[in-house]
Amino acid sequence: MKGPAPAPHREECYACFRVKKNCLCGSVRPFATRMRFVILMHTKEARKQRTGTARLAWMCLKNADLFIGTEFGDDGRVNALLRDPAYVPFVLYPGPAAVNFRDMGPEALPAGKIPLVFVIDGTWNTARALLNKSPNVKALPRLSFAGKYVSRFAIKRQPMAHCVSTIEAVYHLCREAEAAGHERLGAKAEVLMELLGKIVETQLWYSRRHRHRREDNKKMKRA
């Protein structure tokens, strides 16, 4: 007697990399920023991404790149951007010497220069490893937030209270840049938090149905 047929493969959207029935591409509303973003996604994050937010943030940002890897010291794309005189590069990463848009003086961001913001996407361990293996990015001035924010990514365990997801980090940076007069976005950036809300809503529905968080399902984890 034959056993039960294997479960059909769950089709994924090749844009947002979510299961097709939970695809969020239709909710993406791209907007332009004066800042240029470069999201450096650790390979492990790209491989296991299920509720990851970096790809959705990138899809929303017209002036952004997304590169996947574990080190970018010799990456021609990154180094070409760093050499471009139109930009003033920063890495969005906390630290005692980090600057923020509210307190940033003209010496940190000269008139006419475009902020080039590198955003590291991964767990704190993989993000730290990526930064340490990318001396060109590690050497950049660090950019952080003037305010303190609590993550709304309720389905994700954060290592520390002040940690936020990538999509939230981009959102808060856009808002602080606008408050400092470096951006004019109006309500356009709100799409970032709307997408995060949809992710949380979907995962909470799954949790209520299955009585545990989806990310805790061992069958869903990849080696």
pLDDT in tens, 128-178: 999 999 999 999 999 999 999 987 765 555 554 457 889 999 999 999 999
**8 Å CB contact between 122 and 42:** yes
Contacts of 75 (CB under 8 A, 6+ apart): 67, 69, 134
Helix (H, G, I), strand (E, B) or coil at 9: coil
| Domain map (residue ranges) of the chain | 31-96+111-149+162-189
Q: Assign domain 31-96+111-149+162-189 to a CATH class.
A: alpha beta
Render pLDDT for 19-78 as a digit per residue (tens, 0 to 9). Answer: 666 677 777 899 999 999 999 999 988 876 555 789 999 999 999 999 999 999 999 999
Tokens of 1: 């007697």
pLDDT at site 2: 42
Render pLDDT for 182-208 as a digit per residue (tens, 0 to 9). Answer: 999 999 999 999 999 888 777 655 555
- Can you give the pTM of this predicted structure? 0.81
pLDDT at site 25: 75
